[in-house]
Amino acid sequence: MLYAVFMSSALPPFPRPQEPLDAPQLLEVGSLSDEPCLRADAARNRARLLEAAARLIAEHGVAGVTMEAVAAAAEVGKGTVFRRFGDRTGLLTALLDHSAKQLQADFLSGPPPLGPGSPPLERLRAFGVAVLYRTAEQLDLQLAAQPEPTRRFTHPAFGSLRMHITVLLRQIVPGADCDLLAHTLLAALDPALIHHLTRQRGLPMERLEAGWFDLVARVTGTEAPR
């Protein structure tokens, strides 16, 4: 796959967004404590620590990632890990941010259908599939590193995904409230929901993928692929 991602009796008319929304740019989603430009040795150390943490997750799961374990795996002092990431949450967030940057690069400049070059509807379908499988593969990390509830929707990584979906929707259904619909679509890709559906209910990923195609078709008034 791509990755190994209110009713009333009288509804008011959809608002028509007035502000222009240009094609999204690759966003900086690192933690606020990151320096704008790391020295070369500091950048190497940071990459080394992230690689060590990723290996630990692959071998032992997120529970196996402690600051001490990462320091030992990277063969550095524990203080180096704390200075670089602050705490365990900062380390996990940095790992998730690195993955988010890779996804952004893929949908902004990668090959079609996820990247430019395909019709917007095909790109929207591919986007959901990419996020579904990326999230399923990194589910423990995604859940452990999620921002607390009041910050979830203002985090730069979420904003990048929302902006991308909004841009595509404005090309597919220009008369709709595309910003609000983008939030609705992203709700179907929430890591906690994917955890519930796949691990607690045992649904296969193929069903979630088909459900994404069906949801996109209903939101955009198009036909789902067969």
Q: What is the pLDDT of residues 45-59, one digit of tens each?
A: 888 888 888 888 878
Kindly report the average pLDDT of the chain as a whole number: 82
Q: What is the pLDDT of residues 81-128, one digit of tens each?
A: 998 888 888 888 888 887 888 899 999 999 999 999 999 999 999 999
Radius of gyration of the chain, Cα coordinates, nearest whole angstrom: 19
pLDDT at 151: 82
Contact 191, 142 (CB under 8 A): yes
Between 150 and 73, where is the model more confident?
73
- Report phi then psi at 79, rounded to 5: -60, -30
The single residue listed with the structure tokens 């996109």 is 216
Distance CA 54, CA 141 (A): 10
pTM as predicted: 0.73
Helix spans in 61-87 (H)? 67-74, 78-85
pLDDT at 14: 35
Percent of the chain with pLDDT strictly greater than 90: 48
The set of long-range contacts for 102-110, using a CB threshold of 8 Å and a minimum separation of 24, is: 103/3, 103/5, 103/130, 103/131, 103/134, 104/26, 104/27, 104/29, 104/160, 105/26, 106/130, 107/164, 108/23, 108/24, 108/25, 108/26, 108/164, 109/26
The single residue listed with the structure tokens 């380390």 is 91
pLDDT at 27: 47
Within 10 Å of residue 132's Cβ, how many Cβ atoms?
23
Q: What is the pLDDT of residues 2-36, one digit of tens each?
A: 343 322 333 333 334 434 444 444 444 444 344 44
**How would residue 38 be classed by pLDDT, with cut points 50, 70 and 90?**
low
